[in-house]
Amino acid sequence: MANVVVVGAQWGDEGKGKLVDWLSERADVVARFQGGHNAGHTLVIDGKVYKLHALPSGVVRGGKLSVIGNGVVLDPWHLLEEIETVRAQGVAITSDTLMIAENTPLILPFHGELDRARESQNSVAKIGTTGRGIGPAYEDKVGRRVIRVADLADDATLQTRVDRALVHHNALRTGLSMDPIDRNTLLDKLRMLAPQILPYAAPVWKVLSEKRKAGKRILFEGAQGALLDVDFGTYPYVTSSNVIAGQAATGVGLGPGAIDYVLGIVKAYTTRVGEGPFPTELSDDDGQRLGERGHEFGTTTGRKRRCGWFDACLVRQTCATSGVNGIALTKLDVLDGFTTLRVCVGYRLDGQVLDYLPTASDAQARCEPVYEDMPGWTESTEGARSWADLPANAIKYVRRIEELIDCPVALLSTSPEREDTILVRDPFAD
């Protein structure tokens, strides 16, 4: 019984939520392994829309254990609000169905304040952060001054952790002309929070190890996309954690041998939210059309997404760095009606043609896409559930993508509805 990692293979917003929900029917455990509530997953189930940010996508499926791993940075107040929101939609969430790793770092109010203050005062180059404190929380984790879930259980430990964090943060706030943090107010908030969060706390590494030995299927859920990875993304316009599949093991406390299959989620075109390079970005009518047809607005921020043609070079890179075994190609239906489709097959840089995006930011900015044109199709692919339902040119487009990225298609999604999915190869069967 395979354990499957799901990662976004572009800049996020590839449709991971729907696919994780679809796959969760075959899984026993759904474990979120990195990121914060800056990521947004939209699920559409029987016409009902669920918008999740901190909760694993598996929570909307009964009989599944959902896990928030130690690789996540967690805003506990946002989590509690999100739990109440989905409960109001009829989803039951208890300590039997949701677990939070005891060593999960917490995002505190001053993290978001610092995040927003930095971005507003950055006159050099804005990163495009959501301002929710994810980056500063990861900084504190690495700096060994973060408050973790387990710290809420002991007041003496909590006070020591808070004092250590405030030495650092109050110095930063002075430099940014911000008022110091009120220690007693913060401690009071954390003490009130403790009884609401601690019932979900568990040694997740131990629970998952036991589940694996018992033959249970684990679905590892990532957030954002591999091109936002802090090491392998378009740095510095990246998130503050590792997004690629290797993080799945570290982010929940299992060894790499626990990963049997990596599924990369790939949109049939390309989008990006925020700042940073985007070689195939379109500012013409085609870009506008992709955005409108694809409803390209961020789940978390509401920001309009930048749109462009499919970039096979970038996806080939992310398939390599994440060890992707197969991709799930989403939003194919958005391309319905285009007379001609373009696919980026290389970059022209200073007179040379490259088959990968270089690491240096200045070189990335100068890269010009080399396109291969393909005929589009006039028929509708929306709601298709078998290859026989697809136009011939749509099948040719999918097959050409497989060739260019050197990775097979395992799943094909043709609408936001979970059942509108063509299964080519079941990841859990490998």
**Residues tagged active-site:** 13, 41
Contact present, 414 and 382 (Cβ < 8 Å): yes
Residue 77: C-alpha distances to residues 115, 154, 158 (Å) = 17, 19, 17
Q: CB count, 10 Å around CB of 299?
A: 16
Look-up of token digits 């489709």: 341
| CA end-to-end distance (rounded Å), the chain | 7
- Supply 50's token pair: 């669920």
CA–CA dist 429, 427 (Å, integer): 5
CA–CA dist 124, 118 (Å, integer): 11
CA–CA dist 206, 208 (Å, integer): 5
Q: 302 exposed, middle or buried (CB, 10 Å; 0-12, 13-18, 19+)? A: exposed
The b/e string for 160-181 (b: 16+ C-beta within 10 A; e otherwise) is: ebbebbbeebeeebeeeeeeeb
Among residues 311, 226, 323, the alpha carbon closest in space to that of 7 is found at 226
